[in-house]
C-alpha cells in the first residue's frame, strides 16, 4: 500500500512508549563494574515494554511472513547460545528468499570486541555467503531492536528488510530512541517490522539480567 504524507507525519510524532519495567538498580551501592559479563548489565540496562515501536509507516508484527516467524525461532535459538559465554542473549539470522544464509549471536564478551553484536556478525557472514556487501535482497531477523551501530551496519549493507523481536527503549535505533531505518537524511531506508515473538526475546534478556543480579 502506498504510504501517505499523513503516515509520514504520524511517524514523526512517534514517541518511545511508556516503560513497564525498570531494570536499573536505583540506589544500589554496588560499584559499577569496569568489565566482564556484569558490565553488560549497565551497558544494556534494557527496558522492555509490550508497546511496540511500530508506526503507521511500518507494518505490525502481524504482517511478518511465515518464513520470517520461523527465522525468528532460529534467531532465538542463536540467542540462547550467547548465554553459554556470558553474553547478553541476542541472536540474528539473515534470510535470502526462504533460505537462512547466516546465523549468529552476541559475542561481545566472548571475543572482547565491542562491535561483536549478533547483527553485525550475521551481516558479515551473509555478505561472505552471497559474495557481495550489498544485501538488498536480504532480511535480517534479530531478537532485539538493533542499536545505532547495528542499524548503521544495516544501512551500509543496503539491507532490504529488517524484522526484530523485543523493542529496546534504552538503546534501540529502529523506532525507540531513533529510527535510522527511516531517516530521509540517510541514503537508504529499510522496511521494518517490530515485535515478532517479542515476549520470548524479552523474557530471555530479562532472565539474563536477573541472574546477574542474583550472582
Ligand atoms: Zn547492536
- For the entire predicted model, the pTM comes to 0.75
Expressed in angstroms and rounded, the spacing between residue 100 Cα and the centre of ligand 1 is 20
What 153-158 contacts at long range (C-beta under 8 Å, 24+ apart), as own/partner pairs, is 153/119, 153/120, 153/123, 154/119, 154/123, 154/180, 154/181, 154/190, 155/180, 155/181, 155/186, 155/187, 155/188, 155/190, 157/123, 157/127, 157/133, 158/134, 158/188
Expressed in angstroms and rounded, the spacing between residue 121 Cα and the centre of ligand 1 is 10
Kindly report, residue by residue over 156-208, the tens digit of the pLDDT. Answer: 999 999 999 999 999 999 999 999 999 999 999 999 999 999 999 999 999 99
pLDDT at 36: 37
Longest dimension (CA), the chain: 53
Q: Which cell numbers in the block locate residue 182?
A: 527511516
Kindly report, residue by residue over 72-92, the tens digit of the pLDDT. Answer: 999 999 999 999 999 999 999
Expressed in angstroms and rounded, the spacing between residue 118 Cα and the centre of ligand 1 is 7
Instruction: Say whether 206 is catalytic.
Output: no
Of the candidates 78, 109, 119, 145, the residue annotated as catalytic is 119
If you average pLDDT over residues 4-31, what whole number do you get? 35
Amino acid at each position: 500500500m502506498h504510504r501517505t504524507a499523513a503516515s509520514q507525519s504520524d511517524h514523526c510524532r512517534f514517541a518511545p512508549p511508556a516503560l513497564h519495567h525498570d531494570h536499573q538498580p536505583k540506589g544500589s551501592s554496588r560499584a559499577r563494574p569496569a568489565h566482564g559479563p556484569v558490565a553488560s548489565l549497565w551497558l544494556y540496562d534494557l527496558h522492555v515494554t509490550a508497546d511496540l515501536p511500530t508506526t503507521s509507516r511500518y507494518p505490525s508484527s502481524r504482517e511478518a511472513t511465515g518464513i520470517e516467524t520461523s527465522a525468528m525461532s532460529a534467531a532465538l535459538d542463536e540467542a540462547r547460545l550467547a548465554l553459554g559465554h556470558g553474553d547478553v542473549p541476542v541472536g540474528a539470522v539473515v534470510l535470502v528468499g526462504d533460505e537462512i544464509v547466516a546465523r549468529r549471536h552476541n559475542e561481545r564478551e566472548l571475543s572482547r570486541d565491542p562491535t561483536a553484536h549478533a547483527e553485525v556478525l550475521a551481516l558479515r557472514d551473509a555478505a561472505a555467503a552471497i559474495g557481495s556487501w550489498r544485501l538488498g535482497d536480504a532480511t535480517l531477523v534479530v531478537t532485539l531492536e538493533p542499536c545505532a551501530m547495528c542499524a548503521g551496519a544495516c544501512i551500509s549493507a543496503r539491507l532490504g528488510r529488517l524484522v526484530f523481536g523485543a523493542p529496546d527503549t534504552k538503546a534501540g535505533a529502529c523506532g525507540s530512541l531513533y529510527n535510522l531505518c527511516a531517516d530521509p537524511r540517510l541514503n537508504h531506508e529499510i522496511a521494518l517490522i517490530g515485535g515478532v515473538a517479542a515476549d520470548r526475546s524479552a523474557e530471555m534478556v530479562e532472565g539474563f539480567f536477573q541472574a546477574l543480579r542474583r550472582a
